[in-house]
């Protein structure tokens, strides 16, 4: 069970407790002069299961892209005091910052276990691999258990159910020692049982990691978030607990403003 820190986003708790944290300051991403992300500050602390929400086009995925080096950005991103911004994507991954995509990026023709094994070795030099060879099998076995896919270890990843592919992708981050995990809509397209199992998996892994979930599914957010940041038009609109966010008139207005187009007003959903 996650040890939630609902105070995330305020100050440098990670720095004082020695826990992993990701500190984002003034993050800005421009596409041909259009500021998709505009001066975003975020503090992400180990143990927090943080949800990043906001209407379509708010800049959520671009924030994740910027942190993981996929798009150029200005401002600063520090992982437990180490600068991240400006580094190459593979170096950022090696620093322990991992991400998933809406469509799982797994090797469909390889088995579940082979996918994890490859991920466990990715980005490491041959000497490190040699040293770690024995430990690697243990890490893969432990991860199969964590993501609940031991019984499918020998199954080709391509035939997994949608939810299982997402769990495998999360497992691939776990075996790479990612302690900051940025997950883009992990429950999109999942049924109720898969969503619940995914939420419980995220709670387990967030207990000793920093986990950020970009999500549109408000029910899922309500059930599992320990803190929420709302983005709108590239800026942080609000931060707080689920209760605080739902009660925030600015947030309600943003969601009501887009309700006609998306049918996903925060208020409407909170009544269900």
Interface positions with ligand ATP (CB under 6 A): 31, 36, 54, 56-62
Closest to ligand ATP by CB, 5 or 62: 62
Phi and psi angles of residue 101, each rounded to the nearest 5 degrees, phi first: -115, 165
Closest to ligand ATP by CB, 32 or 193: 32
Closest to ligand ATP by CB, 53 or 116: 53
Closest to ligand ATP by CB, 106 or 230: 230
- Minimum CB distance to ligand ATP, residue 32 (Å): 7
- Minimum CB distance to ligand ATP, residue 126 (Å): 36
Residue at token pair 């797994």: 106
Structure tokens that stand for 250 in this block: 């600015």
Strands of the sheet containing 34-45, edge to edge, are: 34-45, 21-31, 74-79, 82-83
- Minimum CB distance to ligand ATP, residue 56 (Å): 4
Closest to ligand ATP by CB, 80 or 229: 229
- Output the CA angle 180-184-187, nearest 5 degrees: 115
- Minimum CB distance to ligand ATP, residue 224 (Å): 18
The rounded distance, in Å, linking the Cα atoms of 139 and 98 is 17
What is the Cα gyration radius of the chain?
18
The rounded distance, in Å, linking the Cα atoms of 89 and 112 is 24
Residue 117 CA, distance from chain mean position: 22
- Minimum CB distance to ligand ATP, residue 60 (Å): 4
């Amino acid at each position: 069970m996650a040890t939630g820190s609902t105070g995330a986003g305020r100050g440098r708790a990670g720095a004082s407790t020695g826990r992993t944290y990701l500190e984002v300051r003034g993050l800005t991403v421009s596409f041909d002069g259009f500021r998709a992300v505009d001066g975003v500050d975020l503090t992400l602390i180990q143990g927090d299961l943080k949800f990043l929400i906001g209407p379509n086009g708010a800049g959520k995925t671009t924030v994740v892209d910027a942190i993981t080096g996929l798009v150029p950005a200005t401002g600063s991103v520090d992982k437990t005091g180490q600068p991240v911004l400006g580094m190459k994507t593979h170096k950022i991954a090696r620093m322990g910052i991992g991400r998933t995509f809406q469509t799982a990026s797994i090797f469909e023709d390889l088995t579940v276990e082979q996918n994890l094994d490859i991920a466990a070795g990715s980005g490491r030099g041959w000497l490190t691999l040699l040293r770690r060879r024995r430990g690697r099998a243990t890490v893969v076995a432990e991860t199969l258990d964590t993501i609940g896919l031991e019984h499918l270890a020998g199954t080709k990843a391509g035939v997994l159910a949608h939810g299982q592919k997402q769990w495998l992708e999360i497992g691939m981050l776990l075996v790479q020692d990612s302690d900051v995990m940025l997950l883009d809509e992990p429950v999109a397209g999942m049924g109720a049982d898969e969503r619940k199992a995914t939420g419980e998996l995220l709670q387990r892994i967030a207990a000793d990691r920093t986990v950020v979930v970009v999500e549109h599914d408000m029910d899922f957010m309500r059930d599992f978030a320990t803190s929420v940041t709302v983005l709108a038009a590239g800026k942080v609109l609000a931060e707080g607990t689920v209760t605080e966010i739902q009660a925030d008139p600015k947030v309600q207005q943003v969601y009501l403003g887009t309700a006609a187009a998306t049918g996903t007003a925060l208020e409407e959903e909170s009544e269900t």
